[in-house]
A and B are shown apart, each in its own frame.
Chain A
Amino acid sequence: DQQVKQNSPSLSVQEGRISILNCDYTNSMFDYFLWYKKYPAEGPTFLISISSIKDKNEDGRFTVFLNKSAKHLSLHIVPSQPGDSAVYFCAAYNQAGTALIFGKGTTLSVSS
């Protein structure tokens, strides 16, 4: 059973608009979450993270929001740029804190 879920396989947004990528998790013991970005033929690269003691973390155009009661997090990209077109993975550290559990990914397409 999937513990980290990204229910939208794809998202299309126009340049300059906001992109919102969503992620749900099932295990309330998860306490550290990360977003990764992946271009074709490259490995995933770390984008931004959030600890469960916070509900928001910002880094430039990227903001991650965490709603612990709903077991939901989202990544906001403002403004979106064509170079943001990639697959975005949501991930959470397992209970032991030893390994990352990934969602299936959302493909973001930003058109100019």
Chain B
Amino acid sequence: DAGITQSPRYKITETGRQVTLMCHQTWSHSYMFWYRQDLGHGLRLIYYSAAADITDKGEVPDGYVVSRSKTENFPLTLESATRSQTSVYFCASRAGVDSPLHFGNGTRLTVT
């Protein structure tokens, strides 16, 4: 099916572990984004990418790494997970300027 998919849907990991959240879109959208949703904070931008091999920091990038070797994939890696990174992570993409973002269904990550 066309759209944007995130995997896994749920993940539990331990403090200090590396974990990668996957995002795949089938629209060939240029722009892709990672947001995190936390109670009391709404949705905050972690990183975004304007095209393959072009990435940029958002509001809360510390502790995260992204890559975009292919247009359709935009993985997010927590290099050494901390409890403060327990959150729901949303990937999104958009076609062009002033276009709405289309979101995946999220990954709920718990760091113990």
Which residues from chain A sit less than 8 Å from chain B, CB to CB?
6, 32, 34, 41-46, 49, 51, 89, 91, 93, 97-105
Q: B1 at the A/B interface (Cβ < 8 Å)? A: no
**Interface extent on B, as a size class?**
20 to 34
The distance in angstroms between the C-alpha atoms of A101 and B30, with both chains bound, is: 19
A44/B42 contact (C-beta < 8 A), A97-B98, A98-B56, A99-B48 known:
no
Question: Which residues of A are found within 8 Å of B42, using beta-carbon distances?
Answer: 6, 89, 102-105
| Mask: chain B, 33-48; 1 = CB below 8 Å from A; 0 = not | 1010000111111001
The distance in angstroms between the C-alpha atoms of A32 and B96, with both chains bound, is: 13
Question: Which residues of A are found within 8 Å of B45, using beta-carbon distances?
Answer: 99-101
A32/B43 contact (C-beta < 8 A), A41-B105, A45-B103, A98-B50 known:
no
Decide: A49 and B100 in contact? CB cutoff 8 A: yes
- Chain B minimum-CB-distance residue to A42: B105
Decide: B104 and A43 in contact? CB cutoff 8 A: yes
A-B contact count (CB 8 A): 51
The distance in angstroms between the C-alpha atoms of A32 and B44, with both chains bound, is: 18
Which of B41, B44, B101 has the most chain A CB within a 10 Å cutoff?
A: B101
The distance in angstroms between the C-alpha atoms of A39 and B100, with both chains bound, is: 18
Distance (whole angstroms) from the CB of A34 to the closest CB of chain B: 6
25 interchain pairs, CB-CB under 8 A: A6-B42, A34-B100, A41-B105, A42-B105, A42-B106, A43-B90, A43-B103, A43-B106, A44-B43, A44-B90, A45-B103, A91-B43, A93-B98, A97-B98, A98-B31, A98-B48, A98-B56, A99-B33, A99-B45, A100-B101, A101-B45, A102-B43, A103-B42, A104-B42, A105-B43
Q: B29 at the A/B interface (Cβ < 8 Å)? A: no
Please name the 9 residue pairs, one residue from A and one from B, whose CB atoms are nearest each other, closest first.
A43-B103, A104-B42, A46-B100, A102-B43, A43-B105, A102-B42, A44-B103, A32-B98, A105-B42
The distance in angstroms between the C-alpha atoms of A100 and B31, with both chains bound, is: 12
Q: B68 at the A/B interface (Cβ < 8 Å)? A: no
